[in-house]
Structure 1
Amino acid sequence: MAHVLVSPLNWGLGHATRDIPVIRTLLAHGHEVTIAACGNALSVLRQEFPDARYIEYPDYPVPFSSGHLFVPKFCAAIPFMLQATVREHETLEAILAKDRYDLVISDNRLGVFSSEVSSIFISHQLHYHLPLLYWPAELLAIPVNRYLHEQYDRIIVPDNPPGPLSLAGKLSRPDTDVARDRAFFSGILTGTRQIACTQDLDYLVIISGPEPQRTILEKIILEKLEIIGGSGVVLLGSPQSPKATTRIGDWTCVSYVSTEEKAELMNRARCVICRSGYTTLMELAELGKDRALLIPTPGQTEQEYLSWYYEQKGWYHSQDQNRLDLADDLELSRHYKGFPKMSHTAENVKRLYDELLAGYLE
């Protein structure tokens, strides 16, 4: 039995939830798993795997901005993040000194690698997209990424290979020989599963994002519910607020729900209205949703690129938050085709284990 350390970044829940099928597979093959994480990521994985071993392992603060100052604020935060990465790596060395590990899996934690233990990095961003104004920084990121990727034995890319089925577009395209040599394209990886149920909801609205953008979108959505028609559920994404449910006509508004409840609602919904975060997009692909409206968080360049990319591919309609006309945009969303057919998580994670992970563990 091998011992694996899995450490996801705590920037939202996406890194933790896409690690769920990987951890399930490791446990199913009889390996011991220790999860090193913090915050909500740690909480979610504790709920999913109550019998696993856990280490409280702080990561770096989220350099999100409230709007279009995201890029300069992110750049200004880089020195602090580098310092935090050095501390993160020192902490890892202390963890590895206390126990025997056969493999380290880092989901986007830049300091979680070892020269003594085989290390694998999980990321869908092999290339960083920035607005044209910041193109020198985008070019500078290429050699930085190359140095980062050199620290790992392999890179698991939760996307299909570059081509017509790529979910991340240019974000997951290898820029360097190092990335090309190390990349393993796993396909979709998500903890959200398809379940047999009736699609009895016209709409599911998932409101998320850093403040004040979360509140701004909530206000836009709630003001338009009664003129949309149909029935639906609005998830307000406010776990800090007391859990509460209110009714607006045939709509139900909930302050927050568990990840299991959210997955059930996504399965039941005919149309999903949401941010264009990559984890959510993988969930839509996993569930085979053929209708969605994407609203990228203003200033978050990855979400803005993915929304544009999906619009160009004809998969889902996207609209900027400040130009949103909910009734018109939902009507436009009917004319998009959703994702083409592709392999799903169960098949992907089996291939990931057989073709990559088993080579380090068996």
Structure 2
Amino acid sequence: MNIITNKKTILIAPLNWGLGHAARCIPIINALLEQQYKPILATDGAALALLKKEFPTLEILELPSYKIEYSKKGENLKWQLLKNSLKTVKAIQQEKKIIKNWIEKYNINGIISDNRLGAFSNKVTSVYITHQLNVLSGNTAWLTSKIHQNIIKKYTECWIPDMEGTPNLTGELGHLEKTNLNLKYIGPLSRLQKKEIDKKYDLMVLLSGPEPQRGILEEKLKIEILNFSGQTIFIKGVVEKNQIKEQVDNVTYYNFMSSIELEQAFNESEMVLCRSGYTTVMDLVKLRKKAFFIPTPGQYEQEYLAEKYKAEGLAPYAIQDDFTMENIKEIDNYRGLPQIDSEINWKCLFQVFETE
């Protein structure tokens, strides 16, 4: 049996694409602290702001932005990402150089990258987290999937936050028929816990994801929510210096919430209206909440998940432009996401950093 005698330093680097990647790293960071590791956190933008609020006493470093920009029209997303690809590649190259320097400067013993392609080193154990072994991108999915799998191949291990068998949450996104990749299915990740408490809200509206689509949906739902008579908590998903709370009739608005506050709000809510982002899906599974999904326009992954859950009779969804508050009643006709009770053996999982 290996005994950890010294605190090993682990760099955790989530992608700044909305808040999902950073949010699902929170339980990993807490587990590292519990197992006597020393986490150093590194990202940029809104993800950086979130982690600073969650872990004010930890070392938090800034990495170059990948310059990921959304288009106002979902069908243009792929071309918008392609247009910015040179900026993204440049940022990844900068990231590699920075991390090479950090390994020496901060005596880093291991890296956990959540979809940050430059967060890797041949000198230390490097783990990659993703739920997208297949990267859906329309008629170029075969190419984007192959490129992503070749990136994964260089890492010591790839952790997939899902179940290997059935039931599972990711379907073809997170499962390959044949592979020589070093994959480890660790089960769903969530920073939240289910609590049996009295319900306070009939509906939780939870927004997330990059601009401008997050803001476009916020403006639409602010109008639609006028047609809902139940008590509503509306979390905009905008991390700012100070939390802002506003009461408008039966709707309580927040710009953002900490993990503890979000956990309370989730447990106090009867149903949830949200994006079909995978981190949100894992939270819903953990908290056993029924949901209505509005996938981000043009984001193939979210569209695939929303279609999958609807086809399986688990949750309804609507295209953003077509959604009306009347649609929320469809939730009653669906079973809800599967109940997956899985406990992560963190000590066993982190043994990858103990192998010399």
Normalised by the size of structure 2, how large is the TM-score? 0.90
Residues 143 and 212 of structure 1: CA distance in aligned 2, closer, same or farther (over 3 Å):
closer
- Asked if structure 2 preserves the Cα contact closer than 8 Å seen for 1:188 and 1:343, the reply is no
Shift, 1:240, TM fit: 5.7
The reply on whether 1:23 has 2:29 as its aligned counterpart is yes
**Equivalent of residue 126 in structure 1, options 113, 119, 133:** 133
Q: Distance in 2 between matches of 1:330 and 1:14?
A: 24
Describe the superposition over 1:141-195 as per-residue Cα deviations: whole angstroms up to 9, x where unpaired.
233123201220100111111x43221221112366233xx11111111212223
Query: When the two structures are aligned, how many residues end up with a matched partner?
Result: 348
What is aligned with 1:251?
Answer: 251
- Asked if structure 1 preserves the Cα contact closer than 8 Å seen for 2:64 and 2:91, the reply is no
Aligned residue identity for 2:40: T
Q: Distance in 2 between matches of 1:38 and 1:241?
A: 15
**Equivalent of residue 173 in structure 2, options 149, 168, 171:** 171
The reply on whether 1:159 has 2:159 as its aligned counterpart is no
Residues 323 and 104 of structure 1: CA distance in aligned 2, closer, same or farther (over 3 Å):
same
- Asked if structure 2 preserves the Cα contact closer than 8 Å seen for 1:165 and 1:340, the reply is yes
Shift, 1:273, TM fit: 0.5
- Asked if structure 1 preserves the Cα contact closer than 8 Å seen for 2:275 and 2:294, the reply is yes
What is aligned with 1:321?
Answer: 320
The reply on whether 1:47 has 2:49 as its aligned counterpart is no
- Asked if structure 2 preserves the Cα contact closer than 8 Å seen for 1:124 and 1:158, the reply is yes
Describe the superposition over 1:32-70 as per-residue Cα deviations: whole angstroms up to 9, x where unpaired.
222222333233223333332232222411132222200
Instruction: Give secondary structure in 2 for the equivalent of 1:280.
Output: helix
What is aligned with 1:187?
Answer: 187
Q: Distance in 1 between matches of 2:112 and 2:216?
A: 37
- Asked if structure 2 preserves the Cα contact closer than 8 Å seen for 1:4 and 1:33, the reply is yes
Q: Distance in 2 between matches of 1:211 and 1:26?
A: 31
What is aligned with 1:148?
Answer: 151
Q: Distance in 1 between matches of 2:240 and 2:55?
A: 23
Q: Distance in 1 between matches of 2:124 and 2:244?
A: 47
Within-5 A mapping of 1:11-160: 11-67=17-73, 68-131=75-138, 135=139, 137-160=140-163
- Asked if structure 1 preserves the Cα contact closer than 8 Å seen for 2:54 and 2:258, the reply is no
Instruction: Give secondary structure in 1 for the equivalent of 2:131.
Output: coil
Report sequence identity in percent. Answer: 30
Describe the superposition over 1:290-338 as per-residue Cα deviations: whole angstroms up to 9, x where unpaired.
x2110112122211111111111111111111111212x1111111111
What is aligned with 2:333?
Answer: 335
Residues 243 and 150 of structure 1: CA distance in aligned 2, closer, same or farther (over 3 Å):
closer
Q: Distance in 1 between matches of 2:183 and 2:117?
A: 16
What is aligned with 2:236?
Answer: 236
Q: Distance in 1 between matches of 2:211 and 2:109?
A: 40
- Asked if structure 1 preserves the Cα contact closer than 8 Å seen for 2:227 and 2:325, the reply is no
Q: Distance in 1 between matches of 2:83 and 2:178?
A: 26
Residues 216 and 27 of structure 1: CA distance in aligned 2, closer, same or farther (over 3 Å):
closer
Q: Distance in 2 between matches of 1:297 and 1:49?
A: 29
What is aligned with 1:275?
Answer: 275
Q: Distance in 2 between matches of 1:361 and 1:36?
A: 22
- Asked if structure 1 preserves the Cα contact closer than 8 Å seen for 2:207 and 2:235, the reply is yes
- Asked if structure 2 preserves the Cα contact closer than 8 Å seen for 1:127 and 1:170, the reply is yes
Normalised by the size of structure 1, how large is the TM-score? 0.89
Residues 105 and 203 of structure 1: CA distance in aligned 2, closer, same or farther (over 3 Å):
same
Unaligned 5+ residue runs, structure 2?
1-5
Aligned residue identity for 2:306: S
The reply on whether 1:356 has 2:349 as its aligned counterpart is yes
Q: Distance in 1 between matches of 2:251 and 2:43?
A: 36
- The structure where helix makes up a greater share of residues is 1
Residues 323 and 361 of structure 1: CA distance in aligned 2, closer, same or farther (over 3 Å):
same
Instruction: Give secondary structure in 2 for the equivalent of 1:16.
Output: helix
What is aligned with 2:260?
Answer: 260
Shift, 1:277, TM fit: 1.1
Residues 234 and 356 of structure 1: CA distance in aligned 2, closer, same or farther (over 3 Å):
closer
Instruction: Give secondary structure in 2 for the equivalent of 1:155.
Output: strand
What is aligned with 2:205?
Answer: 205
Residues 188 and 221 of structure 1: CA distance in aligned 2, closer, same or farther (over 3 Å):
same
Residues 143 and 244 of structure 1: CA distance in aligned 2, closer, same or farther (over 3 Å):
closer
- Asked if structure 2 preserves the Cα contact closer than 8 Å seen for 1:142 and 1:175, the reply is no
Q: Distance in 1 between matches of 2:56 and 2:42?
A: 14
Shift, 1:245, TM fit: 4.1
Instruction: Give secondary structure in 2 for the equivalent of 1:106.
Output: strand
- Asked if structure 2 preserves the Cα contact closer than 8 Å seen for 1:241 and 1:255, the reply is no
Q: Distance in 2 between matches of 1:99 and 1:360?
A: 16
- Asked if structure 2 preserves the Cα contact closer than 8 Å seen for 1:4 and 1:31, the reply is yes
Q: Distance in 1 between matches of 2:97 and 2:52?
A: 24
- Asked if structure 2 preserves the Cα contact closer than 8 Å seen for 1:121 and 1:156, the reply is yes
Instruction: Give secondary structure in 2 for the equivalent of 1:24.
Output: helix
Q: Distance in 2 between matches of 1:142 and 1:189?
A: 23
